[in-house]
Amino acid sequence: MVRYADPGAVEWVESGGGPLIAIPEVVLPFWAGANGDDLSSDYDRACDVDGFFGLLPVGDTWALVLGDEPASTSYLPEHGTFVRWCAAASEDELLSGVPAALATAVWEPEVEWNVPGPVVLFDAAWPGPASERTDHLKVALEPGRYAVRAAYVEPGPETWVGLVQLRRLTR
């Protein structure tokens, strides 16, 4: 995990250039990353996601792929949101713009994601079992159904942020 300040407000996960993926812990062993046959790997499937996010089957559940660009990403539990650092002069500048970004976001259509419990966010190129040896972030989600939506927001003249918000569904 990367920290951009000392001590740093949050932990950030970076990729080597491809998408990040949030995989439920229970199915991490089933994610092969860039390892695979000559035709297609799990990483290739993740790279095929078009847009800000998408869901991919992994084992008997689904993983959340954060697409669009390989931005440094953290999870802010107080907002239920993956925050993607697209542009900002500092971590403080980016994080202070999140409330305004959430309030003014024009959201893409949402999808439903059934989550069996905690997920691990890491570079989709890595195999699931190796995720602890690279940048990763454990996100303590409660089991259940979540609405997932995304937006790209410019809360300041030189601050741009990607948002992927999770909202727990109760119905």
What digits encode the pLDDT tens for the residues 87-118?
888 899 999 999 999 999 999 999 999 999 99
Token digits for 156?
Answer: 């300041």
Examine the pLDDT at 3 and tell me if it is beyond 50.
no
| Band of residue 37 on the pLDDT scale cut at 50, 70, 90 | low
The mean pLDDT of the chain is 90
Whole-number Å distance between alpha carbons of 139 and 32: 20
Tell me 141's DSSP state.
Answer: P
Complete DSSP assignment for 53-98: EEEEEETTEEEEEE-SS--EEEEETTTTEEEEEEE-SSHHHHHHTH
Q: What is the pLDDT of residue 49?
A: 93
- Say what percent of the chain tops pLDDT 70: 93
Cβ atoms 112, 105 nearer than 8 A: no
Token digits for 119?
Answer: 């997920």
What tens digit of pLDDT does each residue of 64-93 get?
Answer: 999 878 889 999 999 999 999 998 888 999
